[in-house]
């Protein structure tokens, strides 16, 4: 696989900061937690503020597929809720053992759409002690931008930050502000890797006509994104692109031919768009076994990654660019930054 990507200076896992004054020693004991329960994944970060951002003390990530079957039934299944509660119990234990002083736990598209989403959050509170907040799409977009905008390529004009989730994709058009980007427009499209996979059906994606199935998914996403395009002022040119999701980090890993996923190699990478398109096409043409054999995809992601590729290619169709920025950071980091800023830390 070609390795022509140009990597940005590798951001440290501690995060980056604006060079504020040193923290008071008494504040170094503050510990913060950020939990993001999505349609596909449950993720946790625990961190302490530091002079140049924050230092991650603990992390957790597990594929739970909370939104499995949601597109057809309109509700969370018993099995998906059980998987999520098991993962959240691990998170609750980590929050207790790390003596977290302030945390925020959010749930996104699956809980927003499910008729039993509120009932599920009440069960989570009873069984784990975690108070899940079902956030609106706009807040989800804001947190994603806050968490990853520092990885945007330098340049003038607007930039598009996108987050391909399990149940939705957030598109955020930003322009440079004094300290952080200003959001000019945003859109939450109802297609993520889980919802798009279920809309097409696994049999079609894995069948002999899977290339046609891929084209249908891509067209479905393009139609959905057209509403956002109509909101924008004229045709945007030379837009800088930054993606934050398992889809873009997975494809970047395939691009680098990594034997195992390595966040340090991926976060902050800038990959030629032509390479990302070739990888997407290659993956769409593979069957499940072939995709599973790719080290950074494996069996856990092999059934959902094709839909992610279709969403990514739809974005690249609408907003042509030479390179795509890759961020292995997003909502959790945005939560941490907002909590710490509220307490007076300059990040």
Tell me whether residue 18 is exposed, middle or buried, using C-beta atoms within 10 angstroms of its C-beta: 0 to 12, 13 to 18, 19 or more.
exposed
Please, which residues bridge with residue 62 across strands?
A: 42
Q: To the nearest 5 percent, what fractions of the chain are helix, strand and coil?
A: 45, 20, 35
| Mean pLDDT of all residues belonging to the chain | 89
Q: Are strands 53-63 and 41-50 parallel, antiparallel or unpaired?
A: antiparallel
pLDDT in tens, 49-80: 988 789 999 999 999 999 999 988 999 999 99
Mean pLDDT of 195-219: 96
263's CB contacts (< 8 A; 6+ apart) are 13, 328
Sign of CA pseudo-dihedral 287, 289, 295, 297: positive
Angstrom distance (rounded) from CA 91 to CA 106: 13
pLDDT in tens, 75-91: 999 999 999 999 999 99
| Residue 73, SS3 per DSSP | helix
Angstrom distance (rounded) from CA 169 to CA 267: 20
How far separated are the first and last CA of the chain, in Å rounded? 38
Domains of the chain listed by start with CATH number: 12-137+331-342 (3.30.420.40), 151-327 (3.30.420.150)
Angstrom distance (rounded) from CA 196 to CA 70: 11
Token readout for 280 is 């997407």
Task: Of 91, 93, 78, 68, give the one whose Cα is nearest residue 123.
Answer: 78
User: Picking from 1-5, 147-151, 242-246, 328-332, which range would have the lowest pLDDT averaged per residue?
Assistant: 1-5
Token readout for 133 is 């907040």
pLDDT in tens, 121-133: 999 999 999 999 9
| Residues 105 and 134 sit within 8 Å (Cβ to Cβ) | no
Share of the chain above pLDDT 90, in %: 80
| Residues 39 and 194 sit within 8 Å (Cβ to Cβ) | yes
Token readout for 88 is 């959240």
Mean pLDDT of 311-339: 95
Angstrom distance (rounded) from CA 271 to CA 255: 8
pLDDT in tens, 8-30: 333 333 333 333 333 443 455 79
pLDDT in tens, 298-307: 998 999 999 9
Please, which residues bridge with residue 240 across strands?
A: 159
Sign of CA pseudo-dihedral 160, 197, 104, 136: positive
Angstrom distance (rounded) from CA 306 to CA 284: 6
Task: Of 132, 92, 130, give the one whose Cα is nearest residue 114.
Answer: 132
Task: Of 245, 230, 242, give the one whose Cα is nearest residue 196.
Answer: 245
User: Residue 139 — φ and ψ, nearest 5°?
Assistant: -70, -40
Length of the chain: 347
Angstrom distance (rounded) from CA 234 to CA 220: 23
Angstrom distance (rounded) from CA 73 to CA 289: 29
Question: Which uninterrupted H or E stretch holds 120?
Answer: helix 117-128
| Residues 170 and 188 sit within 8 Å (Cβ to Cβ) | yes
């Amino acid at each position: 696989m070609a390795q022509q990507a140009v990597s940005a200076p590798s951001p440290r896992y501690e995060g980056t900061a604006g060079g504020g004054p040193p923290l008071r020693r008494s504040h170094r004991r503050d510990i913060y937690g950020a939990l993001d329960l999505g349609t596909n994944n449950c993720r946790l970060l625990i961190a302490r503020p530091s002079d140049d951002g924050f230092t991650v003390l603990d992390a957790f990530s597990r594929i739970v597929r909370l939104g499995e079957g949601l597109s057809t039934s309109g509700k969370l299944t018993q099995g998906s809720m059980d998987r999520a509660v098991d993962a959240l119990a691990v998170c609750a234990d980590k929050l207790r053992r790390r003596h977290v002083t302030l945390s925020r736990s959010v749930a996104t598209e699956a809980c927003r759409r499910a008729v039993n989403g509120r009932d599920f959050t009440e069960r989570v509170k009873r069984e784990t002690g975690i108070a899940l907040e079902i956030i609106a799409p706009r807040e989800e977009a804001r947190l994603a931008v806050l968490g990853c905008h520092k990885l945007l390529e330098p340049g003038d004009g607007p930039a598009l930050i996108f987050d391909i989730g399990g149940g939705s994709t957030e598109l955020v058009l930003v322009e440079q502000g004094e300290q952080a980007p200003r959001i000019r427009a945003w859109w939450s499209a109802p297609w993520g890797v889980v919802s798009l996979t279920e809309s097409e059906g696994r049999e079609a994606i894995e069948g002999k006509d899977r290339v046609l199935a891929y084209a249908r998914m891509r067209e479905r996403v393009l139609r959905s994104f057209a509403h956002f395009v109509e909101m924008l002022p004229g045709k945007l040119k030379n837009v800088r692109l930054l993606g934050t999701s398992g889809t873009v980090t997975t494809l970047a890993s395939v691009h680098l031919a990594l034997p195992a996923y390595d966040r340090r190699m991926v976060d902050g990478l800038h990959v030629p768009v032509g390479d990302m398109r070739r990888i997407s096409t290659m993956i769409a043409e593979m069957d499940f076994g072939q995709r599973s054999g790719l080290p950074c995809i494996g069996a856990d992601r092999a059934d959902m990654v094709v839909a992610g590729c279709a969403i990514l290619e739809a974005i690249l169709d609408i907003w042509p660019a030479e390179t795509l920025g890759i961020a292995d950071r997003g909502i959790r980091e945005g939560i941490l930054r907002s909590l710490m800023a509220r307490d007076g830390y300059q990040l």
